[in-house]
A and B are shown apart, each in its own frame.
Chain A
Amino acid sequence: MKIKNLLIYSIISSFFLLSLISIWKILVTLQGLKLENFNTTIIFILGFLFSFFNVFISERLNFIFKFLFFALIFVYVDGFLISKLPIWYNIGIVFILYFFASKTKKYNSNFLNNEHSTQLILFDFLTLFGIVLFSFVILFPFYMMLVTSFKTQIALLVNPLDFSIDFNQDLKELFKSYFVIFTSYNFGKYILTSTIVSLGTVFITLIFAIPAAYAIARLNFFGKTFMSTSILIIYMFPAIVLVIPLYTVFSQLGLRNSISGLLIVYTATTLPVAIYMLQGYFKSIPKELEEAAILDKLSWFGIIIKIILPLSIPAISSVALYVFMIAWNEFLFSLMFLDNPNSFTLSRAIQYLSGDAETPRQYLMAGSVIVTLPVLFIFVYFEKYLVSGLTAGSVKG
């Protein structure tokens, strides 16, 4: 057993435990609990002792018993003895300790004897720490958005820093902001516009991108290398540079405040990346498959429809998802080109509402939740297509 490894492991793991519990404590303060202090010293010492003895008793004691024993001590010392906190807080602590104990289970004396174990421990905990910290940082604004949308105007004015949700009021009251934005702020229409624009962009982009990407990946034509390398040039220009010339052009053509105008701009901005992503995937499809298809009397068009498309479902769905998200979340062009509330998209509508000082904050947040949800659901649904590799088995390997 290496003393250095043991000490480093104990210190790192107790810091990790400290950060987990601190996050939990921050969250419970938001829920209205008043903590006198964070008890950092006690948590640190307890975590250190647990990590330390865990190494020696790990083989001799069942994991469940060990964890329960530790959790009881911890809850007793921290929860009851010092702070006298409610039961749900301590249940949360028990879950955190379970997570912590299961993560530290593999660090027994054999593991610590290993020469490289310090590095392994360091990387393990850095990864865990990163995941926990950044998901907290990223998820917290979403949480705020959600909580605010469930509040009343009065509650927001009385205590703006209260982040708890009052589940005691009836459902109609809870979802009031959502009813209001649909009834008096016309959000149904904005959702419809956004959906039409986003799906339309996906559709048009794919129609152009698939043949273009196939041509770049497979066919030989004059200027092919120039084409394929210059595809991404449009991304060298910031959108703000393009938007003013486009504004004048669109004004003269009468495309402002129209869905078709937005479709043109969105397709133009997403097409390069779509082509770039697809051609990379098309190149990875074995050429022999297409040659076999040629021998089976398939035309070029038939090859794309019957061979390339079915095999590229993962790539095409990820491109579709990407394009949909860009079009759904796009703000700058819709801000510039749309000034008539009848043709607003969702993000433009929220900006319009927030510009109006009289619009209550909870309505804005409810609108934001509505903007976020579809993208979230679509992502969860499409995720299985993104990972499956359909080409497996066609060719040796």
Chain B
Amino acid sequence: MANIKFSNVGKSFGDNKVINNFNFQGKDDEFLVLVGPSGCGKSTLLRMIAGLEQIDQGEIQINNEVINEMHPSKRHTAMVFQSYALYPHMNVYDNMSFGLKIEKKTKEEIHSKVLSAAKTLKIEDLLERRPKELSGGQRQRVAIGRAITRNPKIFLFDEPLSNLDAALRAEMRVEISRLHQKIKTNIIYVTHDQVEAMTLADRIVILNNGNIEQVGTPNEIYTNPDNIFVAQFIGTPKMNIFKINSENIVSNNKINILGSSIPFSGINLDKKNYYIGIRPEHLTLNENQEFNFTPKIELIENLGNEKIVYMVSEHNQLCAKISSDIQINNTFGFNLKNILLFDENGLRIRS
């Protein structure tokens, strides 16, 4: 049980402002994922919570206690590093018990804590081994186990799966999800992989250039993005975005696009530039769509269960994701409810 609160947090390396006026309020026991492109400040934020980076301005509170000046080991956080950072000269047991030994806990207490952590992660057989005798997945488990023995209020994961191969990553993702259900503690998880963010998170914080772009549950972020950055960042392939010039705006609620004139309700359009977004999975070959268009198909990628179709229509590059058992003809269709409208600054216009 812990909640974390950021108020006006800022951080700069030299002249380079990495994080600027960061405000956020966490909830109890939630799995929070910080996601963003590389260099967006997500890892820096995590290291500031852990105490490995100085907090330049503002303050971070855990359970209403300011932690800015607190020693890293007293913040009740435990960190899992991307590179595992296991001590190579100690075996797994010593690695996991190292922090407890320094805190001068009794031998029995250390033993029971290490064993229960090992049991949670199913690494009881590995306790005598050295890190170099472990596989990547096992090392990651030991690193998580070391964090568990610290009994923290908040777990900090810094891209823990990015050193693993694709199959193992999927497996460990499920295990981390299970672990959270089992131990019910706050987890702050940093990643650049949107799949991890979508599958693991209770709430996602999408960061870009040190600013929050959107906070929400995975479903909210996917269906209801606040801006073009979020819309394009989540989902593979990326959302199709095309620019609408003022001549394509027919009236104050009608836009000409892909050969159709689309009426929007509840909005008032000026003669300005707009952006239209539609997800590849919402372009379908089904005849019963509200609007249809006939693009020129350039390339089809077959992924087995689905096909990605790359095409051009009215100088707009488009891409569609369709089930692979559907025969591809030349007519694609889409529905009004799946179209997202953004203004010229990339902000969402909701109808």
A297 interfacial contact with B, CB 8 Å:
yes
Q: Which of B78, B86, B163 contacts A295 (CB 8 A)?
A: B78
Q: What distance in Å separates the Cβ of A396 from its nearest Cβ neighbour in chain B?
A: 4
Asked whether B85 lies within 8 Å of A292 as measured between CB atoms, the reply is yes
Most buried by A among B82, B98, B133: B98
B88 to chain A: which residues have CB within 8 Å? 289, 311, 390-394
B318 interfacial contact with A, CB 8 Å:
no
Contacts A391-B88, A395-B85 hold; do A291 and B52 have CB atoms under 8 A apart?
yes
Asked whether B163 lies within 8 Å of A396 as measured between CB atoms, the reply is yes
A297 to chain B: which residues have CB within 8 Å? 71, 73, 99, 102-103
A335 interfacial contact with B, CB 8 Å:
no
B89 interfacial contact with A, CB 8 Å:
yes
Q: Which of B52, B85, B132, B146 contacts A286 (CB 8 A)?
A: B85
B71 to chain A: which residues have CB within 8 Å? 297
Q: A393's closest neighbor in chain B, by CB? A: B132
Q: Which of B73, B103, B136, B146 contacts A294 (CB 8 A)?
A: B73
Q: Mark A283-299, 1 if CB is under 8 A from B, else 0.
A: 00010110111111110
B84 to chain A: which residues have CB within 8 Å? 288, 394-396
Q: Mark A305-337, 1 if CB is under 8 A from B, else 0.
A: 001001100000000000000000000000000
B86 to chain A: which residues have CB within 8 Å? 292, 393-394
Asked whether B87 lies within 8 Å of A295 as measured between CB atoms, the reply is no
Q: Mark A379-393, 1 if CB is under 8 A from B, else 0.
A: 000000000001111
Q: What distance in Å separates the Cβ of A291 from its nearest Cβ neighbour in chain B?
A: 5
Contacting residues of chain A (200-234) with chain B, CB-CB under 8 angstroms: none
Contacts A292-B79, A295-B73, A296-B102 hold; do A307 and B131 have CB atoms under 8 A apart?
no
B232 interfacial contact with A, CB 8 Å:
no
Asked whether A295 lies within 8 Å of B89 as measured between CB atoms, the reply is no
CA of A312 to CA of B110, assembled, Å: 28
Q: Which of A291, A302, A307, A393 contacts B81 (CB 8 A)?
A: A291
A395 to chain B: which residues have CB within 8 Å? 83-85
Asked whether A393 lies within 8 Å of B131 as measured between CB atoms, the reply is yes
B50 interfacial contact with A, CB 8 Å:
yes
B346 interfacial contact with A, CB 8 Å:
no
Q: How many residues on A have C-beta within 8 angstroms of the other chain's C-beta atoms?
A: 22
B72 interfacial contact with A, CB 8 Å:
yes
CA of A307 to CA of B132, assembled, Å: 16
Asked whether B83 lies within 8 Å of A396 as measured between CB atoms, the reply is yes
A393 to chain B: which residues have CB within 8 Å? 86, 88, 130-134, 139
Asked whether A298 lies within 8 Å of B50 as measured between CB atoms, the reply is no
B85 to chain A: which residues have CB within 8 Å? 286, 288-289, 291-292, 394-395
Q: What distance in Å separates the Cβ of A393 from its nearest Cβ neighbour in chain B?
A: 2
Q: How many residues on B have C-beta within 8 angstroms of the other chain's C-beta atoms?
A: 32
Contacting residues of chain B (256-294) with chain A, CB-CB under 8 angstroms: none
B82 to chain A: which residues have CB within 8 Å? 288
Q: B75's closest neighbor in chain A, by CB? A: A295
Asked whether A294 lies within 8 Å of B99 as measured between CB atoms, the reply is no
A394 to chain B: which residues have CB within 8 Å? 83-88, 131-132
B51 to chain A: which residues have CB within 8 Å? 294-295
Q: Which of B87, B103, B130, B133 contacts A307 (CB 8 A)?
A: B87
Q: What distance in Å separates the Cβ of A230 from its nearest Cβ neighbour in chain B?
A: 25
Most buried by A among B51, B86, B146: B86
Asked whether B99 lies within 8 Å of A295 as measured between CB atoms, the reply is yes
Asked whether B134 lies within 8 Å of A296 as measured between CB atoms, the reply is no
A391 to chain B: which residues have CB within 8 Å? 88
Q: What distance in Å separates the Cβ of B195 from its nearest Cβ neighbour in chain A?
A: 20
CA of A394 to CA of B130, assembled, Å: 9
A295 to chain B: which residues have CB within 8 Å? 50-52, 72-73, 77-79, 99, 150
Asked whether B81 lies within 8 Å of A390 as measured between CB atoms, the reply is no
Q: What distance in Å separates the Cβ of B143 from its nearest Cβ neighbour in chain A?
A: 9
CA of A396 to CA of B132, assembled, Å: 10
Q: What distance in Å separates the Cβ of A317 from its nearest Cβ neighbour in chain B?
A: 15
Asked whether A296 lies within 8 Å of B83 as measured between CB atoms, the reply is no
A288 to chain B: which residues have CB within 8 Å? 81-85
B163 to chain A: which residues have CB within 8 Å? 396
A292 to chain B: which residues have CB within 8 Å? 79, 81, 85-87, 146
Q: Which of A296, A302, A310 contacts B89 (CB 8 A)?
A: A310
Q: Mark A271-292, 1 if CB is under 8 A from B, else 0.
A: 0000000000000001011011
Q: A297's closest neighbor in chain B, by CB? A: B73
Q: A390-B88, A393-B132, A396-B83 provided; 7 other pairs, C-beta below 8 A? A: A288-B85, A297-B73, A297-B102, A307-B87, A390-B89, A394-B83, A396-B84
Nearest 9 A/B pairs, CB to CB:
A393-B132, A297-B73, A394-B88, A288-B85, A296-B99, A292-B85, A395-B83, A310-B89, A396-B163
Sampled A-B contacts (7; CB under 8 Å): A289-B88, A291-B50, A294-B73, A297-B102, A302-B102, A311-B89, A396-B163
